Amino acid sequence: MFHVMFLEPRIPQNTGNAIRLAAGTGVTLHLVEPLGFDLSESKLKRAGLDYHDLASMEVHPDLDAALGSAALTSSRVFAFTAHATRWYTEVEFRPGDVLLFGPEPTGLSDDVLSHPRVTDRLRIPMLEGRRSLNLANSAAVVMYEAWRQQGFPGAH
């Protein structure tokens, strides 16, 4: 399936919601350290409800370790930024793709956006003058488009 990656997430509720997204869609959630919270934090657990055992999640010490992991070495990596010119709906996603999102509130740095493993930079359309969407919501919007393109395999 797909891989959703949060680089240095700071807000536990967003990660908890992403755990629910992973459990509901079958994606693997990758968290890249440092994290802005402890994985045992109550806000994370509350947001994830009882989905933690149903979700596939991996924690990586840094971005290079994450992208170099055996499961991701040949994956395309799509970096999401409000500064991209191409919309996420213009891509034909394939199983194994990595959907990379930056930390709240800064987003992905220029160094990450120019990383040699980044296949393309994409954006989610918003009204003029808006800075960004919520991290978990952004991941859900894109993940469901990628899953839809595949015909929602495994869904009922």
CATH number at residue 17: 3.40.1280.10
pLDDT of 53? 77
pTM of the model: 0.93
Q: What's the rounded mean pLDDT across residues 48-70?
A: 87
Q: How many domains does the structure of the chain reveal?
A: 1
pLDDT of 54? 85
pLDDT score of 73 more than 80: yes
pLDDT of 38? 84
| Dist CA 83 CA 149 (whole Å) | 24
pLDDT of 131? 81
Indicate the SS3 state at residue 105.
coil
Has residue 120 been placed in a domain?
yes
| Dist CA 3 CA 23 (whole Å) | 12
| 130: confidence class by pLDDT, cuts 50, 70, 90 | confident
Indicate the SS3 state at residue 32.
strand
Which residue range is the domain that position 135 belongs to?
A: 3-149
Tokens representing 72 are 């991701």
Has residue 156 been placed in a domain?
no
Backbone angles phi, psi at 118, to 5 degrees: -75, 120
